[in-house]
């Protein structure tokens, strides 16, 4: 009886755990803007990884509580994808 109660408690604790967040960095873009919205702006902060250069990101972040950083998940030294050749015949 005690063993089944312990098992139920463990399963309940696992189900109550907070879900993990999705990946915040988009690996398709080299620059991300980290936006801080504080308590007055609704709370929380997020990353907007949709910029192709630091000057583009800085222009968007100007006047906002935000900073621009290089995307740590952007594949800098990754080889270009190999072209796919379809077989005909």
Provide the residue ranges of all domains of the chain, joining segments of one domain with +.
Answer: 23-74
**pLDDT tens across the length of the chain (89 residues):** 666 666 666 665 555 554 445 557 888 999 999 999 876 656 678 899 999 999 999 999 999 999 999 998 888 776 666 777 766 65
Cα Rg of the chain, angstroms: 22
Closest CA to 33 of 10, 53, 11: 53
Say what the pTM is.
0.57
Distances (CA, A) of 63 to 21, 58, 66: 28, 10, 8
């Amino acid at each position: 009886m005690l063993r089944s109660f312990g098992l139920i408690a463990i399963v309940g604790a696992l189900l109550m755990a907070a879900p993990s967040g999705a990946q915040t960095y988009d690996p398709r873009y080299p620059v991300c803007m980290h936006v801080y919205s504080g308590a007055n702006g609704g709370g929380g902060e997020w990353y907007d990884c949709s910029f192709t250069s630091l000057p583009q990101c800085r222009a968007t972040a100007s006047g906002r509580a935000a900073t621009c950083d290089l995307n740590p998940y952007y594949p800098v030294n990754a080889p270009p994808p190999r072209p796919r050749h379809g077989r005909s015949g």
